[in-house]
Amino acid sequence: MKCLIVEDDQMARASIELMCQKIDDLEVVGSFDNGLDALKLIKSVEIDVLLLDIQMPDFSGLDLIKSLEKKPQIILTTGHAEYAVEAFEHHVTDFLTKPVELPRLLKALDHARQNLSSSSGSEEMSELFIKVDGRYVRLDLEDVLYVESLGDYVTFRTSKEKYIVHSTLKNIDDKIKNSKFLKVHRSYIVNLSKVVDIEETNMVIADKVIPVSRAHKPILMNKIKTI
């Protein structure tokens, strides 16, 4: 998702930028301290998510929303909760009060992902053809336990087979369009439906203990159902 940050407070903007850098599928294409510069960029670059402060001098966040012909997913950030009612009249995706914290930001971005997926009308991928030893092998994603990075190669592991493919984990992550698959570590993408249990810094799938990085743990916990 291509993201634009608009926040006039320098420290708050820097904090949001730092959190966004920890999210794998989020690309910050711009960061501004005013709405007018942001509006110019939006007219020239397609934006998926707008992280937008409300109170800004001369041209407020609400002024910016009213100026947009085609609205991206808008997540408002403000220190003033009284703006919530007016904000949702503009059909914003979410409303965050400052200081913005990573778990709450992740939840808002997950709402944005769901909305973008629904609007695209695209069906989830159920299979993938992978090139193994010069031939293309059909792989049902439901059968995949996890994908592991091995330098310039990745391994697709099922309960019965192991397939080694010349690729990068990032490339695989970009190509697998299935909500059950999640990157939990720089070296692992997992099938969430195959997880046996989760501890602080790892999870178990079949007989494999897979590390979960600190940056990916909040995303993981937001994706699974817990009681």
Record the tokens describing residue 189, joined without a space: 């993408």
The domain segmentation of the chain, as residue ranges, is: 2-120, 127-223
Cis geometry, peptide bond prior to residue 99 (ω within 30 degrees of 0) = yes
Distance CA 96, CA 223 (A): 19
Topology match between the domains 2-120 and 127-223: no
The pLDDT score that the predictor gives to residue 214 is: 87
Query: Residue 39: beta bridge partners?
Result: none
pLDDT of residue 216: 87
Phi (first) and psi of residue 214, to 5 degrees: -60, -40
CA distances (Å), 46 to each of 3, 25, 52, 119, in order? 9, 16, 16, 15
Predicted confidence (pLDDT) per residue in 51-89, tens digit:
999 989 889 998 999 999 888 999 999 877 776 667 667
CA distances, 155 to each of 149, 165, 189, 227 (Å): 6, 6, 10, 33
Architecture field, domain 2-120: 3-Layer(aba) Sandwich (3.40)
pLDDT value for 224: 82
Q: Give the model's pLDDT for residue 83.
A: 66
At residue 225, the pLDDT reads 76
Q: CATH for 127-223, among 3.40.50.720, 1.25.40.20, 3.30.420.40, 2.40.50.1020? A: 2.40.50.1020
- Going through the chain in order, the beta strands assigned E by DSSP cover 2-6, 27-32, 49-53, 73-78, 94-97, 127-132, 135-140, 144-150, 153-158, 162-166, 181-185, 188-191, 195-198, 202-205, 208-211
What pTM, to 2 d.p., does this model score?
A: 0.55
The residue ranges of the chain whose pLDDT is under 70 are: 83-85, 87-88, 118-123, 227
Torsion sign over Cα 60, 16, 220, 191:
positive
